[in-house]
Structure 1
Amino acid sequence: MFALRFGQVSTKSGARQLPAWLSDGFVLPRWLRKPARALSRAYEGDYAVPPFAATGLSALCIGAFSIYGAFLGGHMPQVIQAVAARTGFAVDQVRIVGHRQTSEIDVLQELGLDGWTSLIGFDAEHARQRVATLPWVQTAAIRKVYPDEIEISIDERRPFAVWQHGSELVVIEENGNVIAPFASSRDAELPLVIGLGASEDAAGFVKLMQGYPALASRSRGYIRVGERRWDVRLDNGVTIKLPERGEREAIEQILAMDEQDAVLSSDIVAIDMRFDDRLVVQLTPEALERRNASLDSKGKPKKTERRI
């Protein structure tokens, strides 16, 4: 049989003779038998070339050379993206969860989507690294959901206070690291710490003040002085100058005085508690005038401050 041995092929009148190298009678491997039959039919003139075969062969060659050129030029990722996008794998949906401070527009910009981005060629890890560089993002995870969705999960940094240094306002974490410029009304309720070194030392003092809500609720800001101690600025403009040590005792003392004499609601500018042996109260100009007038009427020497 011809399927097994070339040497047994009979020749008819007018038929072409097989080449000598194909007529030695050897047995072909099974996987070569079908190609050999097709070759034999073409050689004997029994096989008709289908229409447009030359056109198809030309297109195949052009396509092969184009792919090879794209590979050599490093454009294969773009080619794969374009083909996959036009076959139903273009990114059509982006779902973002876990964000509160981070803008969705900023996240989409970091993804680099152009409307024809293919989910197959989309580099999720590279996109995750870019999203993680956004100010409020602590960690990010990106997952591809076939055929056309990207899911982004964001864990944001936790704001602790607003730090004012000069004219600049920034939101900081508990450890003092700067998150982003202060620009959102949702951060207006955070404690305000002011001055050089306030960001690094704010955590301990803010937590101390939170233990005294009656005073913390009336505070507008905590001022770090000389990187050594704190002033507390109240909502009525009164400043409490706390000592470098013994802050807790000083706060408890001033709260006891306020409960008894409402000293924090009096006509005063500041209460100086930096000294161990005395407490100094600075009066407002109006209160000072009234006090001096009262002293004049009584014939007593004037004083510019009152000690308690």
Structure 2
Amino acid sequence: MFALTVKRIGRPSRYIELPIAEADERRVLPRPLRRVVRFFVSLGSGRIHIPAHTGTVSALGFLAATGLYGMSLGGHTEAVAQATTSAVGFAIEDVKVSGNNQTSEIEILQLLGLDGATSLVALDVDAARQKIARLPWVENVEVRKVYPKTIEVKLSERAAYAIWQHGQELSLIEKSGSVIAPLRDNKFSTLPLVVGRDAETAAASIEDAFSKWPDVKARVKAYVWVSGRRWDLHMDNGVVVKLPEDDVDQALATLSKFDREQQLLERDIAAVDLRLPDRTTIQLTPEAAARRQAAVTTRTKDLKKAGQNI
């Protein structure tokens, strides 16, 4: 064991004699811990200045963070946000709805969930849009916030093309055949009535097929889709017109001509069969058939008497 002394010439030495064994036993802290130790040493010695009220602010921040975390876990964040923003002047007071011809404003307000204290800031616009978009008549919807107290709801609605009867049910349909909603009143009574399975998808052909024959179309009470291939027209006076599967335009031209020249649809008939291109078959009503049979019988008797008198 010996002592080691280090000196610099010309100035007093700041080093002390350190036994070699003691120097070997001293441990050096890792680099990250050195900064922590230096910070606490400086803090204790007063070399680091902490502003006044730092502890109070930190405590309040900690309590606020804890409160927000608790509200989040309890599901009360939205309610607190609603109450806070409403109290400072962002409560919704006006809802402007446009483009709604068939959609009730009351339905829209109910879906928005307004209660007189709902905050415009806290309102979830995307969720409101999705709810309104599920209404039967709504095709597109835009929901927009107008600060500080207004919501704008702009709709574009689906267009009713026809009434579809399937079984005992009546539904309004688009031209594409998509069902809009059940028929509830008579405001759509002027729309064409299509009847039968798959008639809703076949209905799109009606507008084009009858565009040149408005006189016939005006008298059609119902379009009945038969066997997924062709239409039967039920006229306003009960006459049934049987159209062919193909060349409907020619069949309608024939029907229009007979009605114009001979008032065919005004006669006591039950049906007009136009399914064959080279002939038109007329079916009489039971009463007309009975009268015709009586007339034929009388005529036959008259001819027999006339032959006997010769």
* Short-chain TM bin: 0.7 to 0.9
How far did residue 276 of structure 1 move?
3.2
How far did residue 282 of structure 1 move?
1.1
Q: Is the 8 A contact 1:193 1:224 kept in 2?
A: yes
Residue 305 of structure 2: aligned partner: none
How far did residue 63 of structure 1 move?
6.5
C-alpha distance after superposition, 1:88-140 (max 9, x if no partner): 21111111100111111221122122222100000111100110011100000
Matched to 2:170, the amino acid is L
Q: Is the 8 A contact 1:175 1:200 kept in 2?
A: yes
Of stretches 281-290 and 160-169 in structure 1, the one that deviates more from structure 2 is 281-290
SS of residue paired to 2:86:
helix
Q: Percent identity?
A: 42
Residue 21 of structure 1: aligned partner: 45
User: Which structure 2 residue ranges, 5 or more long, are not aligned?
Assistant: 1-42, 302-310
Distance 2:283 2:201 in 1: 30
Q: TM-score, normalised by structure 1?
A: 0.77
SS of residue paired to 2:291:
helix
Of stretches 144-153 and 59-68 in structure 1, the one that deviates more from structure 2 is 59-68
SS of residue paired to 2:101:
coil
How far did residue 157 of structure 1 move?
0.7
Residue 256 of structure 1: aligned partner: 257
Residue 281 of structure 1: aligned partner: 282
Residue 272 of structure 1: aligned partner: 273
Q: Please list, as runs of the form range in 1=range in 2, the aligned pairs for 1:198-213 lying within 5 A after superposition.
A: 198-213=199-214
Distance 2:170 2:242 in 1: 23
SS of residue paired to 2:97:
strand
Q: Please list, as runs of the form range in 1=range in 2, the aligned pairs for 1:1-308 lying within 5 A after superposition.
A: 21-22=45-46, 35=51, 66-299=67-300
Total equivalences in the alignment: 258
Distance 2:163 2:60 in 1: 66
Distance 1:299 1:72 in 2: 100
Q: Is the 8 A contact 1:191 1:206 kept in 2?
A: no
SS of residue paired to 2:111:
helix
User: Which structure 1 residue ranges, 5 or more long, are not aligned?
Assistant: 1-18, 40-53, 301-308
C-alpha distance after superposition, 1:63-110 (max 9, x if no partner): 675444224434222211111112221111111100111111221122
Matched to 1:123, the amino acid is D
Which structure is larger by alpha-carbon Rg, 1 or 2? 2
Q: TM-score, normalised by structure 2?
A: 0.76
- Structure 1 runs (4+) deviating above 4 angstroms are 58-65
Distance 2:266 2:174 in 1: 33
How far did residue 265 of structure 1 move?
0.6
How far did residue 20 of structure 1 move?
8.1
Q: Is the 8 A contact 1:270 1:283 kept in 2?
A: yes
C-alpha distance after superposition, 1:158-186 (max 9, x if no partner): 11111111111101111111111111322
Distance 2:207 2:83 in 1: 55
SS of residue paired to 1:187:
coil
How far did residue 62 of structure 1 move?
7.1
Q: Is the 8 A contact 2:251 2:277 kept in 1?
A: no
Going from structure 1 to structure 2, the CA distance change for 1:159 and 1:20 (only over 3 Å counts) comes to closer
